[in-house]
Structure 1
Amino acid sequence: MFEVTHLKYIKTLTQSLVILSALLLAPHAFGEERPNMILIIADDLNWDDLGTYGNAGVKTPNLDKLAKGGMRFDNAFLTASSCSPSRASMITGRYPHNTDAEQLHWPLPKEQVTVSQTLRDAGYWTAAAGKWHLGEDTKQRFDEVIESKYGIDEPSGSAQWVPLLQNRPKDKPFFLWLASWDSHRPFYQGEYPHKHTQEDVRLPPYYPATELYMNDFAAYYDEISRLDEYVGNIVNTLEQQGVADNTLIIFVADNGRPFARDKTTLYDSGVKTPFIAYWPNGIPKGSVSESIISSIDLAPTFADLAKTDIPETFEGKSLTEIFKAPEKSFREYAISERNWHDFEDHGRSVRTEQFRYIRNNYNDLPATPSADTVYHKTWWELTRLFEQGALTSNQARPFLTPRPKEELYDLLNDPYELTNLATDENYLNVLGQHSDMLDNWILSSNDFIPSFRTPDDFDRVRGAYAPHRKRPRPSKMQLYQATGRY
């Protein structure tokens, strides 16, 4: 009798241990462990200036490895090609004009809901390191912020990334906002993991292939390689801490490269972003998604993975289903905005799978690039060549007025967006469809054209600062006044 009872006890105990082991090993055991999350933001980096996106001349071994181990998105777009508005959009999940921080250097108002605070309330340790550019109030939405001031002592802005990760509390999931200064101008020469030469450069046809441009592009590539090394350091640290498998890393840029027809524009070279998602426990290795996604989708994705309610203010959608099925259709189109950035401008753009439609609301103004470009010698050379009549029509675009009120490009056949099809009778239906998309978005998002223009901060030709030009910070009421709507 004792022997039978003893055998039953052993059998029951064995079954219990098997069940317990299965529960402990199951990925969804007891509600599933929430992932750690890291957002890495490059500064002024073109989407296709990485090895994984086809530019073999740029040495980016760590980012290439990240893409091979995760998912690369080939149709990811930013809501703005301007630094602080783009970042404000990422952290709030809102279009720039709805963040009340749509113009460069405008701080994010404290009443805006941020994903960092949402995650903090959900039990995450939230921290940021590197470039900031979001205003002082937003720092209060993190547990810790280590802001890196731009300068030659720490030109990359990434030196505090690893220390922040090393000093985190070990008893909480974490969310890190890691922002680099690379590859923002000026390009500081010095120690780089890779030195690039003119032979490495892939120059777009809308720039003159002068000695100056070729060397400046090589210096830009050097900055990208330094950023790549810091990304590799983060991955190595995660592996050393034993948390790499359950940490989601998303790598993006805030806008396009710091050259005249890229940064601040509404072309792909301004608002299309590299987007790499790496998460060994949650994303199929070596996958590629062609789905159209937007930077406003970042905030709801992080909230969704934290298993907390997605704030109603977020205008984006969670990408978690794409992580499971990269072939899944997600968005019909992506919207991008152009607002004041050193110089006045206002425009909107719709990007579908094949076409880009741009509406230039201030087409009487030239498409002057950002000030950090205008006060650089490449701009002075471009100006000199323009005055000599030595530029092609596409190379001369930043100087021309008036600009077309509308632009339409077939990205499938014209990847550099050189041929405007807006007046081509064969594309009138395509033009109308995209114009309607934009009009519908304007109404649904309460978009508007400001009732007055903001003065430039710099001279448009020579780049000289104009301190007498006081740029007012208009209220929303002022922006809506008079003819302030479409």
Structure 2
Amino acid sequence: MKILIKSLLLAEILMLSVASGAEPPLAADSKAIDRAESNRKPNIILVMADDQGWGDVGYNGHPFVQTPELDAMANDGFVFDRFYAAAPVCSPTRASVMTGRNPIRTKVTNHGRYMRPHEQTIAETLKAAGYVTGIFGKVHLGSGQPDSPCNPTGMGFDEWVIGLNFFDNDPYLSRNGKIEHRKGKGSVIAMDDTLAFLGKHKDRDQPMFAVVWFPSPHDPHQEVPEGPSLYDGEKHAGYYREITLLDQQLGRLRRELKTMNIADDTILWYCSDNGGLVEATSGGRDRKGSIYEGGLRIPAIIEWPASNLKGRTDVPAWTCDIYPTLLAMAGIHLDAPHPLDGTDISNIISGEADKHSKPMGFWHLFQQGQATWSDRIQKAIMEKQQAGAPLPHDPERIRKDVDEFPQFSEDVATGHAAWNDWPWKLHRINGTKYELYNLANDPMETTDRAADPDQQTRLERMKRELSGWMVSVVGSINGKDYHQ
């Protein structure tokens, strides 16, 4: 892995919009430029909710859910109005954030699959660039055991306190491989650990990279926010209570960044991992588990006070873009050894671009998911650790998805794939059925245009592009990228 670090002027990374008569969505002040010239790298924090839909926030017009902290962040920062998860379920999207790649390439084909340690992650790249790295909360990409190449150490993290999947109150969490039974609300604990990491390292020479992935608002919705009982009598009340809880924890983080005097020099990026649980507020057709719009569209905000990021864009972007974009913003060159599906979107943030430079490919149900009961698994490991006994999971579990390279046919058509070449989106369902929608005119994907005579040229072109992309994805999961 070759990482070249070079100093880039912030004005070159995030140039001002020159649209006549329009206030640019981003402006850079002299402090930010001085910072870039001195090659001081910003702290980076990624925050992710678990199952929060695009419309399940106050700033997107939800009729009653209370998200004052997210609303304030949206007001102070830059909002992506059409931001997509790379997959409609959790583990794959998390792999896309880590790698900038469609998750099937990384062998995370569905929930509960392990990400191959062969992948180059954002944590590894930032660590090589001098960052101290930590991850806290729900990971759901691998093992929490100390000897597994698929634990967060293998992903490039120096410090970690994690659940294997979602967790609620009084969770069992792995701290760098040692299991602890913690008391309290899971999302509060995840933020406690994140703030402890930031407080520990804030006065040292290294910039910090922290990932906090909340276990909420995933069911069974046992956590409740501080204050009086909310949403009594409303459908999905527990879901919305957990959204308000994570909102409160985001507020803690933003306040503590100011108290620590590191807010200005910290890039904070918030999003969800897939569409929400309530179709009516999903921002599109369907909900979690579907690659129609409601299963993929998610809330997303980025904040960097030193660069005065402000504004809102409806240009589509997705979680695969987070990795290359953050490196560009930090002035770090990415020498990626594997093909990326994401791209640097700092030109969208700056207002220079009004179109994503690449189509976005989605593919769900390539394989079925695998159940991961975090508390059950980690409690069993803790009991063995405390007794000094052999751990309860065999080497095959610790190395799951590491040594196996099953070879899939390049023409495999299992599942539901889609090709978003804005404003058009093509669906391929089990390789036999195609649907075509114009998302600009038909955001709910209600009118299939695949049979329209005047769309046949576009349909055939998009079918070829989607098919070619799917072949490349199969090549990646077969291991082709690691042998070039």
Distance change >3 Å, CA 144–CA 25, structure 1 → 2:
closer
Once the 2 structures are TM-superposed, how far is the Cα of residue 448 of structure 1 from its aligned partner? Answer: 6.8
Distance change >3 Å, CA 332–CA 139, structure 1 → 2:
closer
Please give the secondary structure, in 1, of the residue aligned with 2:322. Answer: helix
Once the 2 structures are TM-superposed, how far is the Cα of residue 338 of structure 1 from its aligned partner? Answer: 0.5
More RCO (CA 8 Å, sep 6+): 2
Instruction: Tell me the residue number matched to 2:235.
Output: 215
Distance change >3 Å, CA 74–CA 151, structure 1 → 2:
closer
Q: Give 1:438's aligned amino acid.
A: L
For residues 44 and 291 of structure 2, the distance between their equivalents in structure 1, rounded to whole angstroms, comes to: 29
2:418/2:466 contact within 8 Å kept = yes
2:100/2:322 contact within 8 Å kept = yes
Distance change >3 Å, CA 291–CA 193, structure 1 → 2:
farther
For residues 43 and 25 of structure 1, the distance between their equivalents in structure 2, rounded to whole angstroms, comes to: 33
1:108/1:138 contact within 8 Å kept = no
Q: Give 1:437's aligned amino acid.
A: E
Q: How does 1:76-91 map to 2 (within 5 A)?
A: 76-91=83-98
Please give the secondary structure, in 1, of the residue aligned with 2:298. Answer: coil
Q: How does 1:255-334 map to 2 (within 5 A)?
A: 255-258=274-277, 261-285=286-310, 287-312=311-336, 313=338, 315=340, 316-325=342-351, 328-331=354-357, 333-334=359-360
Q: Give 2:125's aligned amino acid.
A: T
Distance change >3 Å, CA 439–CA 476, structure 1 → 2:
closer
Please give the secondary structure, in 1, of the residue aligned with 2:344. Answer: coil
**Could you give the per-residue CA deviations for residues 447-471 of structure 1, whole angstroms, max 9, x where no partner exists?**
479xxxxxxxxxxxxxxxxxxxxxx
Number of residues paired by the alignment? 374
Is 1:351 aligned to residue 420 of structure 2? yes
For residues 341 and 59 of structure 1, the distance between their equivalents in structure 2, rounded to whole angstroms, comes to: 35
Q: Give 1:173's aligned amino acid.
A: P
Once the 2 structures are TM-superposed, how far is the Cα of residue 26 of structure 1 from its aligned partner? Answer: 5.8
Is 1:125 aligned to residue 132 of structure 2? yes
For residues 447 and 123 of structure 2, the distance between their equivalents in structure 1, rounded to whole angstroms, comes to: 42
- Normalised by the size of structure 2, how large is the TM-score? 0.70
Once the 2 structures are TM-superposed, how far is the Cα of residue 331 of structure 1 from its aligned partner? Answer: 2.9
For residues 477 and 325 of structure 1, the distance between their equivalents in structure 2, rounded to whole angstroms, comes to: 38
Once the 2 structures are TM-superposed, how far is the Cα of residue 420 of structure 1 from its aligned partner? Answer: 3.4
| Structure 1 stretch displaced more, 276-285 or 259-268 | 259-268
Is 1:151 aligned to residue 176 of structure 2? no
2:187/2:249 contact within 8 Å kept = no
1:36/1:173 contact within 8 Å kept = yes
Distance change >3 Å, CA 359–CA 113, structure 1 → 2:
same
Once the 2 structures are TM-superposed, how far is the Cα of residue 246 of structure 1 from its aligned partner? Answer: 1.1
Distance change >3 Å, CA 54–CA 182, structure 1 → 2:
same
1:125/1:175 contact within 8 Å kept = yes
Instruction: Tell me the residue number matched to 1:174.
Output: 208
Percent identical among aligned pairs is 27
Please give the secondary structure, in 2, of the residue aligned with 1:164. Answer: helix
Instruction: Tell me the residue number matched to 2:364.
Output: 338
For residues 406 and 346 of structure 1, the distance between their equivalents in structure 2, rounded to whole angstroms, comes to: 12
Instruction: Tell me the residue number matched to 1:371.
Output: none
Once the 2 structures are TM-superposed, how far is the Cα of residue 114 of structure 1 from its aligned partner? Answer: 0.6
Q: How does 1:348-387 map to 2 (within 5 A)?
A: 348-361=417-430
2:168/2:221 contact within 8 Å kept = no
Instruction: Tell me the residue number matched to 2:72.
Output: 65
Distance change >3 Å, CA 415–CA 322, structure 1 → 2:
closer
Q: Give 1:242's aligned amino acid.
A: N
Please give the secondary structure, in 1, of the residue aligned with 2:187. Answer: coil
Once the 2 structures are TM-superposed, how far is the Cα of residue 194 of structure 1 from its aligned partner? Answer: 7.0
2:291/2:418 contact within 8 Å kept = yes
Instruction: Tell me the residue number matched to 2:18.
Output: none
| Structure 1 stretch displaced more, 170-179 or 321-330 | 321-330
**Could you give the per-residue CA deviations for residues 153-186 of structure 1, whole angstroms, max 9, x where no partner exists?**
2454342322332233521210111100111111
Is 1:139 aligned to residue 152 of structure 2? yes
For residues 24 and 73 of structure 1, the distance between their equivalents in structure 2, rounded to whole angstroms, comes to: 25
Please give the secondary structure, in 2, of the residue aligned with 1:183. Answer: coil
1:271/1:336 contact within 8 Å kept = no
For residues 269 and 237 of structure 1, the distance between their equivalents in structure 2, rounded to whole angstroms, comes to: 33
Please give the secondary structure, in 2, of the residue aligned with 1:126. Answer: strand
Instruction: Tell me the residue number matched to 2:4.
Output: none
For residues 223 and 103 of structure 2, the distance between their equivalents in structure 1, rounded to whole angstroms, comes to: 34
2:51/2:277 contact within 8 Å kept = yes
Superposition RMSD on alpha carbons, in Å?
3.1
Instruction: Tell me the residue number matched to 1:439.
Output: 467
For residues 421 and 273 of structure 1, the distance between their equivalents in structure 2, rounded to whole angstroms, comes to: 25
Once the 2 structures are TM-superposed, how far is the Cα of residue 278 of structure 1 from its aligned partner? Answer: 0.5
For residues 269 and 122 of structure 1, the distance between their equivalents in structure 2, rounded to whole angstroms, comes to: 37
1:293/1:331 contact within 8 Å kept = no
**Could you give the per-residue CA deviations for residues 394-414 of structure 1, whole angstroms, max 9, x where no partner exists?**
xxxxxxxxxxx2223343444
Distance change >3 Å, CA 448–CA 46, structure 1 → 2:
farther
For residues 54 and 133 of structure 2, the distance between their equivalents in structure 1, rounded to whole angstroms, comes to: 27
Once the 2 structures are TM-superposed, how far is the Cα of residue 83 of structure 1 from its aligned partner? Answer: 1.0
Once the 2 structures are TM-superposed, how far is the Cα of residue 222 of structure 1 from its aligned partner? Answer: 1.5
Please give the secondary structure, in 2, of the residue aligned with 1:52. Answer: helix
Please give the secondary structure, in 2, of the residue aligned with 1:128. Answer: strand
Q: How does 1:363-442 map to 2 (within 5 A)?
A: 405-425=433-453, 427-442=455-470
**Could you give the per-residue CA deviations for residues 271-291 of structure 1, whole angstroms, max 9, x where no partner exists?**
122111101112432x01222
For residues 338 and 265 of structure 1, the distance between their equivalents in structure 2, rounded to whole angstroms, comes to: 8
Q: Give 1:353's aligned amino acid.
A: W
Please give the secondary structure, in 2, of the residue aligned with 1:349. Answer: strand
Distance change >3 Å, CA 341–CA 42, structure 1 → 2:
farther
Q: Give 2:267's aligned amino acid.
A: L
Instruction: Tell me the residue number matched to 1:370.
Output: none
| Structure 1 stretch displaced more, 50-59 or 407-416 | 407-416
| Aligned partner (choices 137, 160, 177) of residue 190 of structure 2 | 160
2:185/2:223 contact within 8 Å kept = no
Flag the structure with higher strand content.
Answer: 2
